[in-house]
Structure formats: C-alpha cells, structure tokens
Structure 1
Amino acid sequence: MLATRRWVRWAGPLAVVVLAACVRLWNLGSPHTLVFDETYYVKDAWTLFRNGYESAWPDKPNPLFEAGQTNIFLSDPSFVVHPPLGKWMIALGMAALGAENSWGWRVSTALVGVLAVVLIMVIARKLFGSALLATIAGFLMAIDGHAIVMSRVALLDNSVMFFALLGFGAVLLDRDWHASRLAAWLAARRASGDDPGWGPTLWWRPWLLAAGLAFGLCSSVKWSGFYFLAGFAVYVVVVDALARRRAGVPFWMSAAILKQAPATFLLMVPIAAATFLASWTGWFVTGNGFYRGWANEPGAAWTGPLAWVPHTLQSFWHYQVAIYNYHVGVSTPHPYQANPLTWLLMIRPTSMYYRGTELGQGGCGFNSCSEAITSIGNPIIWWAATAALLYLAYRLARYREWQVGLILMGIAAGYLPWLLYLHRTVFQFYTIAFEPYLLLGLTVVIGVILGRWVPARPVTTIDTAPDADVDADTDFDADADLDAVADWTVSGLRLSGTRVVVIFLVVATIVSAFFYPLWTGILTPFAFWQLHIWLPSWR
C-alpha cells in the first residue's frame, strides 16, 4: 500500500512534466521564420557565439539567415540593450543543432520552460506541503498558453522567469534555515541565563547565497531581474524582523535593520553583481564590442578623482548608462504594446507571428486560412488567477499567512516596477516573469476549495514565548493526499469543492486544446481563428 501511494504521488508530477514537454517541443521548428523579437535575439546569439560580442548584420538579413546563410554577419559591433546570458543560452541550442535549424533557435528556451514546470511543482510541494496541490500548480503552468508560447519562441523573458523562480525557491528554503538557527541561538542564550539583546547576526545562510546567485543570473538576462533581487532582499529583512519579534527579542526592529540587514546585503548583492559582470565576459575579453574602446577616445576618459579607473571599466560603465537611458526613454509606438495597468486582465496579448493564406496556398483548403502565434494565456486560468490575487490580498490582511505573503512578494517584484514606466513601450508578454506566482496564488484558492488549506487564526497578539514557532501563525493539512480523497467522499462540503475544482481543471484543459493552434502556428481556417477573438483588442 505504501509503495502504491508513493507511485501515485510520483505518477502525477511525471505525467505533468511529460505533458509540458510535449506541448512545448512538438513541431518546435515551425514556422521556419524569425518571429517577433527572434529577429534580434537569435541573430545576436549566433554572433555572440561566433565573435564573443553581438555583431551587426547587413540590410534585410532575415530571408538569407532563414535560408541557411547564417555567417553573413559583420565584424562591426551592434548596440544591444540586454545582458548576454539569455543569448548565450539560445546560442547553445544553435551550436548543438546548427544555426540554420529553427529547432536550434528555440530548443534552449523550450527546455527552460519544461524545467520551470518541474521547479514550480518542487516549490509548491515545499510551500503547501501537498503533492496534490503541487501537481495542480505544475499542471496549470504546463497547459497555460502564455507559458507555452514563451517556451516556444527564442526570446529572453522565459529565462528571466526561470531564474527568478529559482531565486524564489532559494528564499523559501532560507526561511526554515533562518528559523531553526535563530531559535537554536536564542535557546542557548536563554539556557545560560543571558539576555538575548538584539539577537544574533546569522552569516552562514547558504540559501541566501543561492538566491543572490539566481537573481544575479536573472539580471544577466534582463535588467528587470534586479527588481527581484531588491524585492526579495527587503522581504528577507522583514522576515527576520518578524521572527525576532515573535521570539521575544527586545530590540527586534533595530536588530533586523542594523545588524542582520547588512549581513543579508553582503550575502546576496555581491554574488549577484559578480554574476552580472561575469555574464559580460565575452565583451571584456574581446576588443570590438559596442563601446569597448570608448574611454580610449580623445576627451572621453574620466578625469579627476576617478581617473585611476581602468579604461575598460569606464567604457563598460558608459555602455550600461547608455542602456539605462534607452530603457527609460523608449516610447516608439507599436501595434501590440500593452499598458501595464491592463496586463492582469490580458487586454492586449502580443501577436508573435501571423500569416494569412488563400485557398490552395500552403495547404489551405478553405477560402482563407491563418497561421498565428499569439501569447494569449488560457483565459480561464489567467482570469481566475487574477481574481485569486484579490483573494490572496484579503487573506494576507486577515490571517498573516507567510505563504501568501511570499507569493504576493513574487508578483510585486515582477509586476509593480513596471507601473513606474507607463510612458514607455512595453508588452503583455513581460508578464511571464511573474506568471508562476499568479498560478501559485490560484493554487492557494484551489487548496481552500478542496479543504487542503486550514485557515490560520488571525494574529491579534504578539507571541513572546521563548520557544515560539516562527511559523505558528499558519496551519496546513498534512500531506495525505490519498486519505484526503477518501475524506471527500464522506464530507458533503469537500465533495462539492472537489467537483468545482475538477470542473475547473477540465474546462481549462478543453480551452487550452481549443487555443493550442493559436499558440503554435498551426494552419487553421480563418473562421476558426476568429472564434478565438473573445475581446476586440485581441485582434
């Protein structure tokens, strides 16, 4: 019986991973066309691999590149506005399968998407203590259209999502590490009759080092990764302050800000900065990258107190300033730009690729046909997750559940900074960076409906007991999924909740099957494409 239980608990996650791999890898090389921003990242990745820096191309290179003439790039550098790591990852697939192979363009991004499904299940298992909820979280990500599309096009944002989620998982693991060592230190101090004072400075926190590394990797793909680093660094300090408060440390706030916060900074930020710099190795070791010799130009080098800084670092800093100015100032109108205020409602998804054909052309057997790749999330999943976000805000205010707070921190770090840039050109597909946390939030609601989440008591007093559990304000059911299924057949409330969840998951699966052709560029009748325009702004 025990072996059967273990097999069942492994069968669900394995099936989800297989499903995620199939929908992301099937027919990945189609279309054999550089879609949307692949026109930048694929060609930049190839020149980065060949030259060590992103190089310029002759006019109108895409048709030649797609035809297999991939080595027509120039030796001149190209001005690029994103760090190199994501392009190095794309280049690995091209190096393995050939730059002329459209599978090679996209396979690295697709594999990252599959690994993200695995990672969200591992995180959900730790976060919720339930194999069932972990499987549901992975399933939602496996079948959501936005996650599928962003895994099937060679853009950078899927890698941003993955490394940010990796850092999120490290912060999650650090909670237990921090709690156990803080409790042990305070117990030893009180056993000896000493005043705990401000409490300890915890220097050895390997999961914080891992988080700094992960967020550094995230920032080495796109600068927006620094928002995750900053957000979760603040989160870790707040967690430390609240833990000291619950444990009865007299100067808990001062200790968290003045004692532990500097240590947290040194654990997370230097490794992230070093990782970011390391991602630019190709630029540093070659001599022809963009702005590589800027400081050597007459009158360009710094003077005064900073004149001692090596010219290479001066040139690098100048390049980063130019990138920053580009990011904050870009406002070129685009037909698929989307105001961040509308992202959660999925008002303007990004069309990555569209080709219309007439009867008899390209296999079209109707008066007109369409091939489309549009980053429309599964509407049932996406809008349910947005509604769940409001419920999570309520639960955090009422019950102070740390799991809910951690999920909301992930959404805040990935979404709120974009509200500062309402004037610039941005796109709906940026939301992939925080989509995992939306799905984890939806999983919380599913857990409540299934009875897998017992509401925590509201925190009305400060628990100052010496041995107070730092997570005493949260109460989860134990991981007994098979027993829970049996309970649902007895409890009318849980049975109805189970039906609601099953119906939701079945409907979401049907909707994903319905939209799948529009996520993968499958040739369909034009009328079929029109059936998917649920909002006029989706055209």
Structure 2
Amino acid sequence: MLALFLQIWNLGRPNRFLFDETYYAKDAWSLLHHGYVTDYVAGADKKIIAGQTTGLFKDNPSMVVHPEVGKWVIALGERVFGLDSYGWRISSAVVGALMVFVMVRLVRRLTGSNLLGGTAGLLLTVDGLHFVMSRSALLDIFLAFFLLCAVACLVADRDWGRMRMARLVPSGYRTTASDWGPVRGLLWRPWRLSAGLFFGLACGTKWNALFPLAAFGILVWLWDAGARRSLGVRNARARAFVVDAIPAFFYLVVVALVVYVVSWTGWLLHADVYERALSNTQYGPYWGGYLQHDAQGFFPELIQSLRSLWNYHQDVYTFHTRFLNDATHSYQSKPQWWLVLNRPVGMQADLGIEPGQQGCTAAAGSTCLRQVLLLGTPALWWGAAIAFLYAIWGWVARRDWRFGLVVVGVVSTWLPWIRYDDRPIFSFYAISILPFTVIGLTLALGVLMGGPRATPARRLWGTTLAGAFVVLVVLNFAWFWPIYTGELITTPDWLHRIWFKAWI
C-alpha cells in the first residue's frame, strides 16, 4: 500500500509522453481497438495530449519490435481510464506495487523473518529506478515483475518438493546403489507450472527473459540433485537430470513456449494483414510461396499464421541485430557499469524556467527546471553492488543456496547485455537486475545483524548498522524525490543532486 500510494501520487504529471511511452501507449491503445498494432497519423502525440482519441490511427500494421504482453497490460489501464497519461501509466503503478508484495513474500520465505521480508519490500519501494519505472508506461517493469514472480514460484517449489520428498520417504530409509529416491510422487509440481506461466509472460514482454529462464532451469536441476543427495542417492546429478530436469523442462520451457505463442493471439488472428504489409520489407526477404495460396479451414489457416509469425520473428531479430548497430543515443550506457549507476536516462526535462514563472522562486540570475530522471537510489545500488560480491562468496564458500539465487539472478539478467553494448542500450534495462540485488542486500543485512547464536552485543551493533543503512537509503530516496517526480526545482538545487557529469 505504501508503494502504491507513492506511485500513484500525481501519476498523470507530466501530461506528456515520457521517453518510449510514445510507442507503447499508442501500441496498447491500437491493440485494444484493432487487435493488432497499427501506424498512426502525423502529430498523433500532440492530438492525444490535447485529449483527442479518434482519427489517430491508420489501417496498415506497424512493425513492432517487442512482443505484446506488456502492451496488453498497459491497454488494461487505458481501457479503464482512457488514453491519457494516467491511463497509460496506472498499470505500471499497480504492477510496481505488486512487485513489492511479491518481494516481501519471497524474502520472508528465504529468511523466515518478517523483519527482513519487510525490509526487502521497503528497499524496493524507495529505489528510484523502480519508482520511476512504476510511474512510466515502459515494458521493463512488467518484465521484472513476471521474472520475480517466476523465481518466487521456483523457491516455493523448492520448499514444496523437499517437504513432499521427505513425506514420501519411509522412516529409517536407507539408500542402496540402485536407489533413485522418490520419483512418481514428485512428477506433479504445481509451483513449477506457475513458474512456467510467468516465464512465458516475461518472454512475451521482452525476449531477454530467455536468459534467466535458461539459468534458473539449470539451478533448479542443481537444487533437485542436492535434495536427492541429502537422501544418500548416488550420482545424484545424473539421476536428477533424468527424473527431475526432464519433467522440469516441460514445466518451464514448454509451458513458457505455449504461453508465449498464445500471447500473440491478436497477431495470429490478423496475420493476413501483416502478410500483405510486411512480407517484402527492408527487414527481411520475401516470406515464402505459401502466401500465394489462400489457406482453407481452421488448421491450415493456423499453420500458415504460425509460419508467418515465425518469419515475423526473423524480421524482428534482423532489426535488433543489424539495423541498430550503427545507431547512437545521448542516454545510451555501457552495461558493465550499470550496478554503479553510470548513466541514467533523462525521461523529460523543462529547462530555463524564469523566476516568477510556474511558481519559480529562484534568485535573480538563476532559473528553475523540472526533470524526470531514471536513476536508482545511489545508496541502495552501491550497497547492493558490495552485497553482490559478498553473495558470490556466500554461495561458493559458505554453500548457502540463497546466495546462489542472487548470483544466478544478477548474472542472467545483467551479463547478456554486454554482448550488445555496440548498439544503444539503456540503464533502465537494469530493472530486471534490481530484485536480485535487493534480495542479496537484504540477506547481507541479515548476516550483519547476526544469527540466533550471536551475542546480545553483536546483535545490537549489527542491527544498529543495518537499520542505519536502511534509514540512509530512505533519506537518499527522499533527497532525489524532486527529480524522480518532475517537481519544480531551482537550478542550484538540481545541481546538488547531479553528483557526476555523466548524470546530466
């Protein structure tokens, strides 16, 4: 509720398109009213801001370069509140608040602590990147939410599976060389099915969800092998691969694939429109002779539509891998330095507001401005970067599986971007990394506070330091509030918050 309150406060301000909202808000409205994304008329942005909602779109389809799930979620808000800045942002605000809720539940499950679960939720709530993304109609907040939900389901499955395994093993059970441990009773995994659904929704929002899907699939196999090894099963990894990993592949990958294809239903129902408009474009070669023949019947039409969808994906992949390599953008950043906030993204800025205008109270010779800056809370991100290094040690040296969750999550959502650093990529993509850094930071704070065997003095000092850090993060978030929300601020006060030239 705290997160939702902060995120919907003056949500419709500024009443304009912020950064890539200009694409996704209009795409969502087009999906809602046409079933597929269409091109729009010249000057559509100004007409929408002025309140016009008709006569904005053409009949020909648009070459969208991202899947449709996130845009459908944005469309839900537009369906209820209309095509305005509040309508296209409200879905992000709701999802951002739900993301905090899932974070609290996940960390509570990982630690068994209400305090640490609440701390994780609070840290996510007061992170600037999460806050601004929750107030913007961009796709990445939905991607991060679905990934976090999928991982939360996998952690719940780990607990459920081990408890189920323990119940299936009779008292006094002793393994032999040929024992595999319980098999049949562990084939039905409802939490894994849920994880597959969420991974499918994540991939249906942005393709880069494929990397954490693969990474956590491997981690799940290692978890299963560890569970069987704890029973005394020999060659646990090989046997877990057969009886656990193969079924897990269907739960995670196959289910995700089905969900992903279903998410393109709107496109499939209008495949003929795309076939006429995009089969011979700059994005790729002619789609094939199968378009020369009109398919008759449900299944022939479905097969043709799926074949066209595959060719459409080839065109989109070609766009991402060939047509962006020579492009540049003033806010692009190197992913190697995302964890230390190397280059935030300026979403919107009104500069040079003179004293006396719009309530500006700047001294003579100075001006005021409004800015919305996509910047993580520095105290949180820099602390989380240190905690990530500790997480590597905690997984490798202490063999704490919870830190393995952090390491795999960060690596799979961060490192793949380095491969594409020769084209414009932006630091707000790191919103998918954020949940795992928050988990790692919270676990590190738990270690700092001391365990149940720690002396009272140790727990006192540890809790004091951990609490002081959380307060520092909250105060740091409050300090940057004006440039997270586009409030009127004097130029000197703005400069006090722009700590590095790269942040301009």
TM-score, normalisation: structure 2: 0.91
User: 1:505: which partner in 2?
Assistant: 470
How much does 1:422 deviate?
2.2
1:345 paired residue number: 340
Deviation (angstroms), 1:502: 2.3
Letter in 2 for 1:369: C
Q: Which amino acid aligns with 2:502?
A: S
Q: What secondary structure, in the 3-state scheme, does the structure 2 residue paired with 1:74 have?
A: strand
Aligned letter for 2:122?
F
Q: In structure 2, do the counterparts of structure 1 residues 247 and 508 end up closer, same or farther at CA, with 3 Å as the change threshold?
A: same
Please say if residues 186 and 196 of structure 1, whose CA atoms lie closer than 8 Å, have aligned partners that are also in contact.
Answer: no
Whole-Å separation in 2 of the counterparts to 1:335 and 1:192: 62
Matches within 5 A, 1:262-341: 262-287=246-271, 289-291=273-275, 300-301=288-289, 310-329=303-322, 330-331=324-325, 332-341=327-336
The one-letter amino acid paired with 1:492 is A
Could you tell me how far 1:193 is from its partner in structure 2?
A: 8.2
Which of 352, 358, 362 is residue 362 of structure 1 equivalent to? 358
Q: What amino acid is the match of 1:446?
A: L
Pick from 480, 484, 491 the counterpart of residue 526 of structure 1: 491
Letter in 2 for 1:318: N
Of 81, 87, 97 in structure 2, the residue corresponding to residue 104 of structure 1 is 87
- Structure 1 unaligned residues grouped into runs of 5+: 1-16, 455-486
Amino acid at match of 1:170: C
Choose the corresponding residue for 2:131, options 122, 125, 148: 148
* 8 A contact 1:375–1:429 mirrored in 2: yes
How far does the alpha carbon of each residue in 1:236-281 deviate from its partner, in whole angstroms, 9 at most, with x for none? Answer: 1111122222322123222122342221111222211111111111
Give the 3-state SS of the residue equivalent to 1:373 in structure 2: strand
Counterpart check, 1:250 vs 2:234:
yes
Which residue is 1:51 aligned to?
A: 34
Provide, for residues 192-227 of structure 1, a one-character-per-residue CA deviation record: whole Å limited to 9, x for no partner: 989414763632111111100011011111111222
Give a deviation string over 1:1-38, Cα, whole Å, max 9, x none.
xxxxxxxxxxxxxxxx32x1222110000000001000
Alignment-derived partner of residue 413 in structure 2: 414
**Which moves more between the two structures, 493-502 or 189-198?**
189-198
Equivalent in the alignment of 1:477: none
Amino acid corresponding to residue 338 of structure 2 in structure 1? W
Q: CA deviation at 1:379?
A: 0.6
C-alpha distance in structure 1 between counterparts of 2:286 and 2:6, whole Å: 55
**Aligned length in residues:** 484
- Distance in structure 2 (CA, Å) of the matches to 1:427 and 1:56: 25
Deviation per CA, 1:400-431, whole angstroms, max 9, x where unpaired? Answer: 00111112222122112212222222110001
Q: 1:347 Cα shift? A: 0.5
Matched letter for residue 311 of structure 1: Q
Distance 1:198 1:139, change over 3 A: closer
Letter paired with 1:433: S
Name the CA distance, whole Å, in 1 between partners of 2:210 and 2:307. Answer: 21
**Conserved 8 A contact 2:348-2:372:** yes
Identical aligned pairs, as a percentage?
37
* Residues 102-111 or 280-289, more deviating: 280-289
Note if contact 2:61-2:277 (Cα within 8 Å) is conserved in structure 1: no
Task: Provide the C-alpha distance between the structure 1 equivalents of 2:172 and 2:217, rounded to a whole number of angstroms.
Answer: 27
The alpha carbon displacement at 1:178 in A equals 1.9
Contact 1:373 1:520 in 2 (8 A): yes
The reply to whether residue 239 of structure 1 matches residue 204 of structure 2 is no
Residue identity matched to 2:496: L
Counterparts of 1:349 and 1:530, CA distance in 2: 15
Mean Cα deviation higher: 416-425 or 130-139:
416-425
Are the structure 2 counterparts of residues 313 and 451 from structure 1 closer, same or farther at C-alpha, using a change threshold of 3 Å? same
After the TM superposition, which of the residue ranges 501-510 and 522-531 deviates more from structure 2? Answer: 501-510
Q: Which residue of 1 aligns with 2:58?
A: 74
1:114 counterpart = 2:97: yes
Cα shift readout 1:341-365 (whole Å, capped 9, x = no counterpart): 0111111011111111223333323
Name the SS of the counterpart of 2:59 in structure 1. coil
CA distance in 1, matches of 2:180, 2:93: 51
- Normalised by the length of structure 1, the TM-score is 0.85
CA RMSD, 1 decimal: 2.4
Using the TM superposition, name which of 252-261 and 110-119 deviates more: 252-261
- Name the CA distance, whole Å, in 1 between partners of 2:276 and 2:256: 23
Bigger mean CA offset, 186-195 vs 200-209: 186-195
- Equivalent AA in structure 1 for residue 57 of structure 2: F
Partner amino acid, structure 2, of 1:320: H
Do 1:359 and 1:365's aligned partners in 2 also have CA atoms closer than 8 Å?
A: yes
Contact 1:370 1:526 in 2 (8 A): yes
